[in-house]
Amino acid sequence: MRAKTAARLVREASGSEMTSPLILASRSRSRADLLRQAGVEIEIAPALVDETAVKAGMAAEGAAARDVADTLAEFKARRVSAREPGRVVLGADQVLVCEGRMLDKPQDLAEAREHLAFLRGKTHELLSAAVIYELGAPVWRHVGRAQMMARPFSDGFLDDYIAGQGDALLDTVGAYRLEAGGAQLFTRVQGDYFSVLGLPLLEVLGFLRTRGLCRE
């Protein structure tokens, strides 16, 4: 019989084995799909966090992009955990930084085009943070990284890409979806593929196994 983790033995001894699904404190369809496709049962409970204000405040303090992503992920997990303290809650956030500039999700297709034109021919970094709360406190965190090298695509290609993808581009930092045609924008990707999609999935799954929320 496979040995049980120490964490599970403690929970079983105390009669507190967790059977409730993981709560995802995010409205990201990509993150939800990644977890479900990996076999994780989830409930979605988006956290109301003023991300723009948090980013602006941290940028004014000179915070590193990694810390911004981690802080936003924790704020989301904390907000939902306050309502569901007995549950395991996952908060996540993604930050894109290029030449010292942090990009948010575009507000419209015109801004999406501006973002992609800015990234063209450059290398940028994606940081995908995940923070897990349990019993109202943070118990695990990780920040995944990926470097994206955009090719010097033409204006014509850019216009066709935006027309083909449409409003779906507004749901992603950087205004591209690597899994849905966005690969055409790049010459090379280094780092964690799942972090490009918005979640350091393998590391998250590793922790969830210790809580019985993912098969060992």
Residue 50: its pLDDT value, please? 79
DSSP state for residue 190 in the 8-state scheme: E
Q: How far apart are CA 212 and CA 21, in angstroms?
A: 10
Mean pLDDT of 74-99: 95
In the chain, pLDDT over 70 holds for what percent of residues? 91
Catalytic residue check, 93: yes
Determine which one of 33, 50, 67, 93 is catalytic.
93
Query: Residue 6 above 70 pLDDT?
Result: no
* pLDDT one-digit tens code per residue, 169-194: 998 899 998 888 889 999 999 999 99
Mean pLDDT of 131-156: 97
* pLDDT one-digit tens code per residue, 13-54: 334 444 689 999 998 889 999 999 999 999 999 988 878 788
Confidence category of residue 146, pLDDT binned at 50, 70, 90: very high
Query: Residue 206 above 70 pLDDT?
Result: yes
Q: Is 187 helix (H, G, I), strand (E, B) or coil?
A: strand
φ, ψ (nearest 5 deg) of residue 14: -90, 0
Q: Which residues of 134-159 are buried (b: 16+ CB within 10 A; e: fewer)?
A: beeebebbbbbbbebebeebeeeebe
Residue 8: its pLDDT value, please? 46
Judge whether 129 and 68 are in contact, CB under 8 Å.
no
Judge whether 68 and 59 are in contact, CB under 8 Å.
yes
Residue 49: its pLDDT value, please? 81
Mean pLDDT of 157-174: 93
The mean predicted confidence, pLDDT, of the chain is 89
Mean pLDDT of 145-173: 94
Confidence category of residue 56, pLDDT binned at 50, 70, 90: confident
Q: Taking Cα atoms as reference points, which of 84, 83, 85, 111 lies closest to residue 170?
A: 111
Residue 19: its pLDDT value, please? 61
More confident residue, 2 or 48: 48
Residue 11: its pLDDT value, please? 44
* pLDDT one-digit tens code per residue, 93-105: 999 999 999 998 9
Residue with tokens 């404190």: 25
- Can you list the domains of the chain with their CATH numbers? 6-210 (3.90.950.10)
Query: Residue 12 above 50 pLDDT?
Result: no
Q: Say how many CA atoms lie within 13 Å of 163 toward its Cβ.
A: 6
